[in-house]
Structure 1
Amino acid sequence: MADIVSAYMSTPPIARTVATAVFLCSVGVYTGILSAEPFIFHYSLLFKFPPGLYRLVTSFLITGSGMAVLFDTYFVFTYLSQLENNSKFRNKEDLVWYLIFVTSVICPLNALFTEGMLLLQALLIAMCYTATQDQRGMNAHFYIITIPAQLMPYCLLLVQLLFPGGWVNFKIGLTGLIAAHLHDFLTRIYPEFGNGPNLIPTPGFLSWFVNSPRVRDTVYGQAIQPQRAGTGSGPLPDSWRSKGPGRRLG
């Protein structure tokens, strides 16, 4: 059991947290343990009292039914792990900001054009597109066939047409592709080819939020790591802490 926990805790933290949430919520809904209502997205529910703002998150936590619970959870973990180890997202807050941005694009697009209520497929397509941009020239396995890696998001999109409700899921997935394209343009294409700045840099407050308090992964869970003297905030000004060891009076 300790080996299983150790292996689980050694995986990328954001990927394992999101994938675990997706799996548990999906199993809970499809077994009847949880109600599906809090996971449904519709823009009108955001403006009722109290506002259902939590749906901007929960609508991305439900997979398809049946075997899709396993496959979708696997894809969530795989692509988030690739992004978490991608040099483009050097810090955890950069990946968190990426997720916030693409979901913030996906939600209004679905409200306007698809009326999609479960949006995980859109996020999957977005993450797949972003993860495979650095894999051009490499091959990837799509079920039983081998394809160029950069074609993976389009294959995931097209395969939706083979399942019930495929056209609706195709449109939902298309909004994820648009969101990923937009993120790529604003953060990479325009700075590289337009000689401009990154138009959506990671906000400073997000860096502070992600890095405070410092959390260290252990075999038994997560432990808060205290900041070292002189490197973090505290009750004394930095200039006082830099004057050397204190002396008792008397």
Structure 2
Amino acid sequence: MEVVQSWPPVTRVLVVATVVLSVLIHSHMISAQPWVFYADYVFQMPPKIPEIWRVLSAFCITGSGLGIILDAYFLYTYSSTLELHSPRFREHGSYFVYMAFLMGMITFSGGYLLGGAALMKALVVGLAYTFSQDNPDSNVTMFILTFPAKYLPYALLAISAVSGGYSSAFIELTGLVSAHLYDFLTRIWPTFGGGRNLVPTPSFVQNWFRPRGGTAEARSYGQFIRPSSQEPPTANTSGWNSGRGPGRRLGGEY
């Protein structure tokens, strides 16, 4: 539990929910039917209750068997790396907004339009795409192959096409498209198009992730809160503090 508590908050909640729900489903303790995405159930009208929780739970269902471990590991690796180290997420709560954007776009395109029921792998492909944009020249290892990180999301899609068929790969492709759209709206358009960031972090979300107490100090990567009676702690730019020293970037290995 101490190790889990040290994870950044968005990653922690998502990975724990994924492991718990997936274990319960694949051990046949509960049925998967109430948790996968079905648009007819999500948008059903009164007197029936819209089952809106499916929008979130569909991202917390892994493959069976070894997939429970591997899918959760991939999710943790790329999510925690981005949440802790990506220069994209300098504002408090900006990583939360990024994840909400990805999930919303994947739900619409991969779930509603293409009929995907379990959407976690599409989310992993989206996270891998953003990771590859941040670290294009670093090497990653997938099983026995080592290659530049810029090819990582395409390698994941190729594996999915071979193991799950092209229909699964098309659903997972929506994760890459969603992550690229986020990159365009928040970085490419403001930088090269002269526009503004079209996916800003609302002030109330920033307040959710802003540490309480202490004094704010400016840094080259953003801002962190220094407690008044302690040594300066390590904090990422979304406002999460592990209290475990300087930390380091996670490796790109699978």
Which bracket does the TM-score occupy, shorter chain normalised? 0.7 to 0.9
Does the alignment pair 1:155 with 2:155?
yes
Equivalent of 1:42 in 25, 38, 44: 38
Match of 2:207 in 1: 208
Q: State the 1:209 CA deviation.
A: 3.4
In the alignment, the residues of structure 2 paired with residue 138 and residue 79 of structure 1 have an alpha-carbon distance, to the nearest angstrom, of 14
Q: Is the 8 A contact 1:38 1:58 kept in 2?
A: no
- Where in structure 1 do 4 or more consecutive aligned residues deviate above 6 Å? none
Once the two structures are TM-superposed, the CA of residue 111 in structure 1 deviates from its matched residue by 4.0
Distance 1:24 1:109, change over 3 A: same
Alpha-carbon spacing, 1:190–1:24, altered in 2? closer, same or farther (3 Å): same
- State the one-letter code of the partner of 1:132: S
Which residue type is aligned with residue 4 of structure 2?
Y
Q: Decide whether aligned partners of structure 1 residues 114 and 161 sit closer, same or farther in structure 2, where only a CA change above 3 A counts.
A: same
What is the CA deviation profile of residues 70-90 of structure 1, one whole-angstrom value per residue up to 9, with x for unaligned ones?
110000000111111212112
1:146 match: secondary structure: strand
The alignment covers a number of residue pairs equal to 211
Amino acid at match of 2:65: G
Alignment of 1:167-206 (within 5 A): 167-206=166-205
Q: 1:33 is matched with which residue?
A: 29
Pair 1:65-2:64 in alignment: yes
Counterpart amino acid of 1:152?
A: L
8 Å Cα contact 2:92/2:207 also seen in 1: no
Q: In percent, how many aligned pairs have the same letter? A: 36
Supply the RMSD in Å over aligned alpha carbons: 2.0
Of the two, which has the highest radius of gyration? 1
**Deviating more after overlay: 28-37 vs 71-80:** 28-37
For the residues of structure 1 that align with 2:60 and 2:38, how far apart are their CA atoms? 15
**What TM-score does the superposition give when structure 2 sets the normalisation length?**
0.77
Q: Is the 8 A contact 1:126 1:177 kept in 2?
A: yes
Deviations 1:79-135 (A, max 9, x none): 111111212112451111001111111111124542110111111111110112111
Match of 1:246 in 2: none
Instruction: State the distance in 2 between where 1:203 and 1:126 align.
Output: 22
1:46–1:129 CA distance, 2 compared to 1 (3 A): same
